[in-house]
Structure 1
Amino acid sequence: MGILHKLQVAFTIHVNLILLILPTISSSQEHMKTIGSHTSIKENKHKPSPKLQFEITLHGFLLWASMGFLMPIGILTIRMSKRQEFGRRLKIIFYAHAILQMLAVLLATAGAILSVKNFSNAFNNYHQRIGLALYGIIWLQVLVGFLRPQRGSKGRSVWILVHWLIGTAVSLLGVLNIYTGLQAYHDKTSRSIRLWTIIFTVQISSIVFFYLFQDKWVYIQKQGMTMCNEPPRISCQEIPADDKEKVLKAESC
């Protein structure tokens, strides 16, 4: 009887312990489920929907096509006008520059409208602040372009300086905003931007190289033309002895 009584007591203790532990386990499991649900809700909040992700991608493509492609190509085009003084070719270069710049402005405006319409613009990061300043400067450049004075007028030199300064600011801010946009895209979608950053860096480096090489190429061509057009020089040894005195007298005169 003593042994049976002890077994009953031990069994009762074990049952009571199990009954005490089960609510704790179930409550901890419910707590873990609650934490997991909150985490998934947060992840779903931060993860953009397919529609929003498409709009972000479209916004980035429009700004790249505007600031990263058309605007630099338009600058390279107008640099070619330095070789032309007048004529039909100069007009073609000018109109090509104007068309490329206007297309760049229109695409940038479309990207801005898409951003204002679909994105939360709190202007609490560098990408949005630079973008706001960039859109204002772009349209200022358009206004300055329409106020272009004629060649030979008094304000022509001042206009060229202002147009060049604003254009340089637009180019620098545009390139910088593309890099900050890629970083913002990575923060929003958690996708890798390494490949796009490398491609864009190679593209901009190539454009800068051609921009700097244009003036050097003109200089190289002029040097070759100068050397070809120079008359051949005659050394003193090739001049007859009787004519050396005449040459020396002519040089002294």
Structure 2
Amino acid sequence: MYEITAHGFLLWASLGFLMPIGILTIRMANGEEISRKRATALFRAHAILQMLSVLLSTVAAIMSIKNFNNSFNNGHQRIGIVLYGLIWVQAITGFARPQRGSRGRSMWFLGHWALGTVVALLGVINIYTGLLAYHEKTSRSISTWTIIFTAETSIIALLYLIQDKWVYIQKSQSIARTDSSKSTDETASPNEKQNGLQLA
């Protein structure tokens, strides 16, 4: 029982927490007004989070091989073995990224993004299938854990969507403030403008 719980916790920490947070972190480095120093710090945070994720998922995989009956006769195990391979491919491509501005950078970025998206989605799916497998093996209720993980996933997805619009929201607020300032200047009475000139 301990091995099953530890296996599940490690994979949740890896694929259900560290990896999504790492994705959100690197997306924060894509803002137009972000400084180079902050972008570098965010990139390093992304790399650390992803490496920790790979490490934990590898430990979970080793636990699975050593302690469980891996007949691969259910969806959880089949997705899991594919996922372990993709995680390492993604990690290797992360280290092998071309220099910014080089010829292959765009293709690398597209591949890295696509593979990362697949890994993230499969990770979420496999956590749910893992909960079902846990329930089938132990007959214990998984309702609470399912609700908690669903809430966490929803929050992360919401933050992901907000990030896409954050720059637009900031620009809109800036334009609104500018327009409001202009409107105030234009509606000022002649006496107010004259007083302003005299004070100046």
Aligned-pair CA distance for 1:92: 0.4
| 1:124 counterpart letter in structure 2 | N
Q: Which residue of 1 aligns with 2:12?
A: 64
The 1-side partners of 2:174 and 2:105 are apart by 31
Distance 2:66 2:84 in 1: 15
136-145 or 215-224, which deviates more: 215-224
Instruction: Give the residue type in structure 1 aligned to 2:182.
Output: P
Q: Write the distance in 2 (CA, Å) between the matches of 1:228 and 1:125.
A: 57
The answer as to 2:173 corresponding to 1:224 is yes
Letter in 2 for 1:70: L
* Whole-Å separation in 2 of the counterparts to 1:220 and 1:170: 30
Partner-residue secondary structure (3-state), 2:69: coil
Q: Which has the larger radius of gyration?
A: 1
Q: What are the equivalent positions in structure 2 for 1:166-205 lying under 5 Å apart?
A: 166-205=115-154
Shift >3 Å, 4+ stretches:
227-235
- Give, in whole Å, the separation in 2 of the partners of 1:113 and 1:93: 30
Q: Secondary structure at the match of 1:232?
A: helix
- The SS at the match of 1:73 is helix
Residue 149 of structure 1 aligns to a residue whose secondary structure is coil
Counterpart of 1:105, as a letter, is: V
What is the CA–CA distance in structure 1 between the aligned matches of 2:154 and 2:176, rounded to whole Å? 33
TM-score (norm 2): 0.87
Structure number with the bigger relative contact order (C-alpha 8 A, sep ≥ 6) is: 2
Query: What is the identity, as a one-letter code, of the residue corresponding to 1:138?
Result: I
Q: Which residue of 2 aligns with 1:28?
A: none
Q: TM-score, normalised by structure 1?
A: 0.69
1:80-139 deviations in whole A, cap 9, x for unaligned?
001155521111000000000000000000000000001110000000000000000000
CA distance in 2, matches of 1:95, 1:232: 42
Query: What SS is found at the alignment partner of 2:182?
Result: coil
What pairs with 1:51-200 in structure 2 (closer than 5 Å)? 53-83=1-31, 84=33, 86-200=35-149
Alignment of 1:212-251 (within 5 A): 212-229=161-178, 232=182
Unmatched tracts of structure 1, length 5 or more = 1-52, 239-253
> What amino acid sits opposite 2:60 in the alignment?
G
Kindly provide the CA deviation profile for residues 229-251 of structure 1, in whole angstroms up to 9, marking residues without a partner as x: 4583799xx9xxxxxxxxxxxxx
- CA shift in 2, pair 1:147/1:85, >3 Å: farther
Identity value in percent: 62
Give a deviation string over 1:35-94, Cα, whole Å, max 9, x none: xxxxxxxxxxxxxxxxxx010000000000000000000001011001155521111000
Q: d(CA) in 2 for partners of 1:95 and 1:227?
A: 35
Where does the alignment leave 5 or more consecutive residues of structure 2 unmatched?
A: 190-200
Counterpart residue identity of residue 200, structure 1: F
Residue type of the alignment partner of 1:79: R
- Give the aligned residue type for 2:162: F
Q: Distance in 1 between matches of 2:141 and 2:176?
A: 54
Number of residue equivalences: 184
Q: Distance in 2 between matches of 1:80 and 1:106?
A: 24
After TM superposition, give the deviation of residue 220 of structure 1 in Å: 0.8
Provide the C-alpha distance between the structure 1 equivalents of 2:77 and 2:28, rounded to a whole number of angstroms.
34
